[in-house]
Amino acid sequence: MSFTIAIDGPAAAGKGTISKAVAAHFGLAHLDTGLLYRVVGARMLEGMDPVAAARDIRAEDLERDDLRSPGVAQAASKVAVIAQVREHLLDFQRSFARRSGGAVLDGRDIGTVICPEAQVKIFVTASPECRAARRCKELQDQGLAVEYDAVLEDVKARDARDSDRATAPLRPAEDAVLLDTSALDIDTAVARAVAIVTAARG
Ligand code: CDP
């Protein structure tokens, strides 16, 4: 039987770092599903039809090195409201989740839509101000000239778009464990997530 861990939450809540660390701890494969939407967003910025971009997506597209920019993040959340885009990306995510060694998927709708049968579901959250501060530092560390206020606006705009959309809106699954990382450093947040998975595995 495959073992799937679903980790969802809003932008910059820490789910990427937590998911990577949890996958490494338990020896599972990891898919950052946000990258799929980022690829489609980047293609749209290049002039491609987003539905066609989602239909033709390939694993190697996730290696593009321009996917982390704020412009691509905004474009990703715009294409993510298109039901046909989400539909085309479904098979890719489900077949990854069912791989024999087990997998961790992080995103917005993993526990609710992509893998409602996941054995463990964690909803990672933090205040918008905390998330903006973290994302700001992350982008500045990458050499991008960004300002806190603009990053906070970006985080809030994406939160609203992700939560209000009709298809697969951002919300915790009923059986998800909530993990608020506002007051936690990353090592503590990872330790909490590992403890949640360990408890669920029995
Ligand atoms: O890293 P960050 O949390 O800022 O963003 P991301 O996880 O890379 O996702 C970028 C955008 O893709 C999000 O704002 C969502 O609109 C969309 N997304 C989604 O709709 N469903 C997912 N499973 C993952 C991402």
Residue to substitute in 32, 77, 90 for testing ligand 1 pocket (most ligand atoms within 8 angstroms of CB):
77
Evaluate: CB of 73 within 6 angstroms of ligand 1.
yes
Q: How far is CA 178 from CA 53, 82, 175, in A?
A: 33, 27, 9
Structure-token pair, residue 102: 């087990």
pLDDT category, 70, cuts 50, 70, 90?
Answer: confident
Direct distance between the N- and C-terminal alpha carbons of the chain, in angstroms, rounded to an integer: 15
- The mean predicted confidence, pLDDT, of the chain is 94
Residue 60 has pLDDT above 90, yes or no: yes
Percent share of the chain, pLDDT over 70: 100
Question: What CA–CA distance (Å, rounded) separates 108 from 113?
Answer: 9
Residue 147 has pLDDT above 70, yes or no: yes
C-beta of residue 172 within 8 angstroms of C-beta of residue 155: no
Dump pLDDT digits (tens) for 30-46.
999 999 999 999 999 99
pLDDT category, 1, cuts 50, 70, 90?
Answer: low
pLDDT at 100: 84
In the Cβ-directed half-sphere of 87, how many Cα atoms lie within 13 Å? Answer: 5
Residue to substitute in 7, 8, 37, 110 for testing ligand 1 pocket (most ligand atoms within 8 angstroms of CB):
37
Residue 63 has pLDDT above 80, yes or no: yes
Q: Beta strand pairing status for 4-8 and 177-180?
A: unpaired
C-beta of residue 74 within 8 angstroms of C-beta of residue 157: yes
Which residue has the CA at smallest separation from atom 23 of ligand 1? 107
Evaluate: CB of 85 within 6 angstroms of ligand 1.
no
Evaluate: CB of 96 within 6 angstroms of ligand 1.
no
Structure-token pair, residue 197: 């998975």
Q: Which domains does the chain have, with CATH numbers?
A: 4-194 (3.40.50.300)
pLDDT category, 180, cuts 50, 70, 90?
Answer: very high
pLDDT at 2: 81
Quote the ligand 1 centre to 39 CA distance (angstroms).
11
Q: Which of 112, 114, 134 is closest to 189 using CA atoms? A: 134
Question: What CA–CA distance (Å, rounded) separates 98 from 19?
Answer: 17
